[in-house]
Amino acid sequence: MIPCRRVVSRAGVKGLILPALSQRVIVPHVITRYQSTVGAASGVPIDNTANEPRQPIENKALKDSKSARGPKAPKRQRQERNGGNGGANMQAFNQKVKDVTQQIEETLNTDVEYGELKSILEEGITFLRDSTEAIGNTTRVSIELHRAFTPLTITFYNKAKNIADINSEELLEFLISIGLANQYHFTDIAQQLLKEATTKPENYQKVLQYWVRFREYETTHRSFVLDGTLPEGVEYVQFQFPSFAYYSYVMICVHQNAPYSAQDAMRFSFNDSVPHPTRVKLNLVGGKCFDNTEFKRFTDFIRQEEQKNIDPNGPQVNSDLFRLNDVHKIDDYYLKTVEMLKERNEKFTERTLTRFMNRYYSIGKYDRVFALFEKLVSSGIKPSITAWNAVLRSIITRDTFRDKSSEEKVVLLKKFERMVATIKASGAKFDADTLGAIVNAYCVAGQFERAKECMNEYKDLGVSNVAKEEYMRALIFNGQIPEAEERFQEYMKQEDSTFSRDLLNDFLAHYSKQKNYRAMFGIKEFMDRHNLEPNTKTLTLITQAYIHTNVQMGKTPDIMAFLNSFKGSTRFNENTYTVILTGLIKSANIEAARELYKVLKKKYPNSPWIQSNMITMEMSLGDIATGERLFAHYIKNIKNDAFIWNTAIKNLLDRDENLAMEYYNGLKNQERFKPNMHTYQFVFEHFVRKGNAKRLAEVLDDLANNPLKEYGTLSKIFYRISPLTEIPKAVAERAKFDVNKRKTFV
């Protein structure tokens, strides 16, 4: 730990966060070279009612203000003269404030020299502070002065810093010296320093110095920018400064290879918690001091620090896993966990492996469930019933059993029954989830009588809601809708019966295929009655039914009013609506998607997700001309990048490959970006399927002349291209593709 200078102690100041810095700070030389000049001699505390007498403001500044004074009368005489009427005194003081600040504002709006600006500001606040003794209510006085002078000091600061030879730091020192600095001034300087920090890393240390200075200053001065006090046209975010300070602290650790302390990092905040990286990025972008390369170093460092504190076998693993929806990300997380355990000379616990098994099961990657179970057993760990349940559920599932042949189905059922017998032999005790897995497997396999027998055999376990639900979902899966509906009515009459949205969505999906919209609306009414909140699949299916019903009746659907009728609609956001729109598009409900888009484009006119989804739909399924208009709007009003060009190319290739290649050539002609790995992948895949050797040769020449930084899986596509046309030597070398052996280098 690196010692830090002692922060000036101010006993009795509530909520002071920095005193612990007096004991230690992690960053080497971050604050040690900085010595505070804030103190009794350098600033005038706003609440101080015993200031030394000052010279009155010059008559030219105050003009004929009624507040010009002669010598002070004794305290008792003043009280008698004022009749003890504090309200009248405050009213008179407010008038003085109004007169003085008006004159200062008029001066600021004229073309005067910097010295004149300083004089009028300093004399004005000096005069008003010397006029406060008869009032008594120093807190109210300080608030009124702070509110009145905040816009003036911000205007002064912004005007003065544009004058030649006057830098922002000099201005801040002056404002501190007269007790009129506020958070806006400190934030602006931090912002300016961060703009140059990429080439001047020492600026990060300066930002921290100003943060510490600010925290000291605010213990004796009002420093927050109050609502309604910003001058017109001035942009300011109240809590940018903590993000700047925290970011600077981390970047000092990065640049100086200094140790990081989460405890010390929290001191660069207002609430003892560090800002989230997303919040930091928003504030950096808002302050026009964001640098992508530096911010990546920031996030990488934070991620590494977080990894150091993670227990690979702790509960954090579970919450992390369920934030990951992509199998590759879960695989990466698993491999990172393996590495962490190796570094610490530890092993997986049974619970951790089971967590991974359950997560893989939830995304339909059953092969990984079996692989992890084998790892668990081969490690000599005795599986819990939770681990056995994950394996049981993965053997026979709705999404895999359907496509099996009759012989394969018989083999799977026998494998399942052997697994049940193995669990019994292991001594593991069945629980309600085990019964649910058994019932589900038999129902999916169409063995409903056997499922009922198991429910009776293990009824002492309690037929859980999971088992009941799996039974009904299997009935729907096998097309036995009337019995599923009958069981649903029966179970709902039983005490404590609750079912997930997955069951309701299964019913909805079936009714949607049958165009039984009345039944779908009945499920919505059921959800409303039971206060059930829908998920995006529910919303997509019922919205589709609502739109179709209204269109068939010749009515204009009020989609937003309909969606707002659902529980939890107040939390619906751009992402929610995007998912609903995507669901409609994936199910080829073009008209329903267009109806929803009519509403969303007004609510989110420049949403990249909504607009790109509609471009995808129109170019791949709908009207190409409409898709092109949407594309033109996107690159003009949202963002012109490779992603949206690739979207157009990918979706046009199968409908109009000549037009798709026009977009490809348009992408080649862009100045800021060019075709990337994904562009070539889409184009190569299409023309390999078409067997178009000429087109493939043309695109390969483009790739040879415009090499990529990353070739990814392109080398695999070259296997299929090489029989049609020659792979240019330059491309093969960069992609590490052996043309003769037709394999990628390892």
pLDDT the model gives residue 436? 85
Paired residues of 738 in beta bridges = 743
Between CA 386 and CA 393, with CA 389 as vertex, the angle to 5 degrees is 145
Amino acid at 66: K
Q: Can you read off the two tokens belonging to residue 646?
A: 């690739």
DSSP code of residue 430: P
pLDDT the model gives residue 63? 40
**Residue 372's closest CA among 335, 418, 416?**
335
Instruction: Flag whether pLDDT at 415 surpasses 90.
Output: yes
Query: How sure is the predictor about 447, in pLDDT bands with cuts at 50, 70 and 90?
Result: confident
Q: What is the C-alpha to C-alpha distance for residues 355 and 337, in angstroms, rounded to an integer?
A: 12
Amino acid at 376: L
Residues 6+ apart with CB under 8 A from 609: 574, 575, 578
**Sequence-ordered strand ranges (E) for 37-187:** none
Instruction: Flag whether pLDDT at 85 surpasses 60.
Output: no
Instruction: List pLDDT tens digits, range 45-57.
Output: 334 333 333 344 3
Instruction: Flag whether pLDDT at 683 surpasses 90.
Output: yes
Average pLDDT over residues 257-276: 80
Instruction: List pLDDT tens digits, range 481-497.
Output: 898 888 888 888 877 77
Q: What is the C-alpha to C-alpha distance for residues 364 and 392, in angstroms, rounded to an integer?
A: 13
Q: What is the C-alpha to C-alpha distance for residues 6 and 37, in angstroms, rounded to an integer?
A: 13
Maximum C-alpha span of the chain: 110
Q: What is the C-alpha to C-alpha distance for residues 220 and 215, in angstroms, rounded to an integer?
A: 10
Instruction: Flag whether pLDDT at 246 surpasses 90.
Output: yes
**Residue 436's closest CA among 413, 416, 454, 414?**
454
pLDDT the model gives residue 691? 92
Q: What's the burial of 110, exposed, middle or buried (CB within 10 Å: 0-12/13-18/19+)? A: exposed
- Per cent of the chain over pLDDT 90 is 28
Higher pLDDT, 60 or 314: 314
Higher pLDDT, 376 or 713: 376
pLDDT the model gives residue 226? 67
pLDDT the model gives residue 462? 66
Higher pLDDT, 101 or 587: 101
Average pLDDT over residues 94-111: 86
Cβ count near 395 (within 10 Å) = 21
Amino acid at 416: F
pLDDT the model gives residue 527? 85
Instruction: List pLDDT tens digits, range 353-369.
Output: 999 999 999 888 999 99
Q: What's the burial of 57, exposed, middle or buried (CB within 10 Å: 0-12/13-18/19+)? A: buried
Instruction: Flag whether pLDDT at 520 surpasses 50.
Output: yes
Contact 314, 346 (CB under 8 A): no
Contact 33, 208 (CB under 8 A): no
Q: How far is CA 503 from CA 482, 538, 628, in A?
A: 15, 11, 40
pLDDT the model gives residue 487? 85
Q: Measured in whole angstroms, how far is the alpha carbon of residue 148 from the centre of its chain?
A: 37
DSSP code of residue 52: P
Three-state SS string across 607-669, please?
CHHHHHHHHHHHHHCCCHHHHHHHHHHHHHHCCCCHHHHHHHHHHHCCCCHHHHHHHHHHHHC
Instruction: Flag whether pLDDT at 642 surpasses 70.
Output: yes
Contact 130, 56 (CB under 8 A): yes
pLDDT the model gives residue 740? 58
Amino acid at 548: H
Query: How sure is the predictor about 572, in pLDDT bands with cuts at 50, 70 and 90?
Result: confident
pLDDT the model gives residue 195? 92
Average pLDDT over residues 180-204: 92
Q: How far is CA 711 from CA 665, 687, 692, 714, 733, in A?
A: 20, 18, 22, 6, 11
Q: What is the C-alpha to C-alpha distance for residues 732 and 744, in angstroms, rounded to an integer?
A: 9
Element (H, E) at 377: helix 366-378
**Residue 48's closest CA among 122, 173, 133, 120?**
133
Contact 500, 473 (CB under 8 A): no
Higher pLDDT, 742 or 736: 736
Query: How sure is the predictor about 2, in pLDDT bands with cuts at 50, 70 and 90?
Result: very low
3-state helix, strand, coil in the chain (%, to 5): 65, 0, 35
Average pLDDT over residues 25-33: 36
Q: What is the mean pLDDT of the chain?
A: 80
Instruction: Flag whether pLDDT at 550 surpasses 90.
Output: no
Q: What is the C-alpha to C-alpha distance for residues 321 and 412, in angstroms, rounded to an integer?
A: 29
Give the HSE-up count for residue 725: Cα atoms under 13 Å, Cβ half-sphere.
Answer: 17
Query: How sure is the predictor about 30, in pLDDT bands with cuts at 50, 70 and 90?
Result: very low
Q: What is the C-alpha to C-alpha distance for residues 703 and 683, in angstroms, rounded to an integer?
A: 12
Q: Can you read off the two tokens belonging to residue 163?
A: 């004058």
Instruction: List pLDDT tens digits, range 309-353.
Output: 778 888 878 788 878 877 888 888 898 888 888 888 889 999 999
Q: Can you read off the two tokens belonging to residue 594?
A: 């267009």
Average pLDDT over residues 59-75: 42
Query: How sure is the predictor about 680, in pLDDT bands with cuts at 50, 70 and 90?
Result: very high
Q: What is the C-alpha to C-alpha distance for residues 250 and 258, in angstroms, rounded to an integer?
A: 9
Instruction: List pLDDT tens digits, range 589-637.
Output: 888 889 889 888 888 888 888 999 999 999 999 999 999 999 999 999 9
Instruction: Flag whether pLDDT at 664 surpasses 90.
Output: yes
Which 3 state secondary structure label does DSSP give 2? strand
Average pLDDT over residues 717-741: 80
Higher pLDDT, 93 or 243: 243
Of 511-515, 574-578, 616-620, the least confident: 574-578
pLDDT the model gives residue 416? 93
Paired residues of 25 in beta bridges = 2
Average pLDDT over residues 409-417: 92
Q: How far is CA 709 from CA 2, 673, 705, 713, in A?
A: 42, 13, 13, 13
Higher pLDDT, 651 or 79: 651
